[in-house]
Chains A and B, each alone.
Chain A
């Protein structure tokens, strides 16, 4: 199957700083990528859909000015958590693919963010 990578895998930052998470499709082009957030013992919640060359589509309740998404190329999408606060601490997962009928989305390994 296709491979999606994320970087960094783990990050600890101080409250008020910004953190950038990268999501790359390694062996295929992805015009669309998806960003999810998962709190402990909860399921994945879709935050936004990242579209190459255009603005991201955010889910209801997700602040677009706080979670900046840039999809500048067909293999890279970035999520920047601006002015991070402790409540932003979570597991962030990106995915790509799933755009044909039987194909699943391919998930990145996730980024564990801890805001102190």
Chain B
């Protein structure tokens, strides 16, 4: 089966930096996505990695190591509005095929003042 692991909860202080880890063991790999989801809302896209290395986008960065089956999402200069669930998702099959994303259970981040 597919296995994607993330910590269940994390807490950090406003203005700080937080790193959310994701490890995966899947039958295929065609890219890894990070999403942010506020309670009762749909996920919103944050980042995409398919090659090893770091992708930076403003306050958010995402890293991937395919050999280690490991990714992290780095959030800098935390703001209260960053309190949300962060979902790691692996695309198992090539784009265009039927089976798309498999999600981790999500990490609930709480940002404290």
- A, B bound: yes
Residues on A lying within 8 angstroms of B by beta carbon are: 1, 32, 34, 41-46, 49, 51, 57, 91, 93, 98-110, 112
B38-63 near A? 1/0 per residue, CB < 8 Å: 00111111001010000000000000
CB contacts (< 8 Å) of A105 on chain B: these are 100-101
User: In the docked arrangement, what's the CA distance between A67 and B45, Å?
Assistant: 27
CB contact between B105 and one of A34, A42, A49, A51 (< 8 Å): that residue: A42
The stretch among B11-19, B75-83, B91-99 that forms the contact with chain A is B91-99
User: Would B40 and A49 count as touching, CB distance under 8 A?
Assistant: no
User: Would B95 and A101 count as touching, CB distance under 8 A?
Assistant: yes
Please give the number of chain B residues whose Cβ is less than 8 angstroms from any Cβ of chain A in the complex: 24
CB contacts (< 8 Å) of B98 on chain A: these are 32, 49, 51, 57
- Of chain A, the residue at the smallest CB distance from B6 is A43
28 A–B pairs (Cβ distance < 8 Å), ordered by A: A1-B45, A34-B100, A34-B101, A42-B106, A43-B103, A43-B105, A43-B106, A44-B101, A44-B103, A46-B101, A49-B98, A49-B100, A98-B95, A98-B100, A99-B96, A100-B95, A101-B31, A102-B50, A103-B95, A104-B33, A104-B48, A105-B100, A107-B43, A107-B44, A109-B41, A109-B42, A110-B40, A110-B42
User: In the docked arrangement, what's the CA distance between A57 and B97, Å?
Assistant: 11
User: In the docked arrangement, what's the CA distance between A40 and B100, Å?
Assistant: 22
CB contacts (< 8 Å) of B108 on chain A: these are 41
CB contacts (< 8 Å) of A42 on chain B: these are 105-106
CB contacts (< 8 Å) of A107 on chain B: these are 42-44
Instruction: Sort A-B residue pairs by CB-CB distance and give the 5 closest, nearest first.
Output: A107-B42, A104-B45, A43-B103, A43-B105, A44-B103
Q: Does B64 belong to the interface (CB within 8 Å)?
A: no
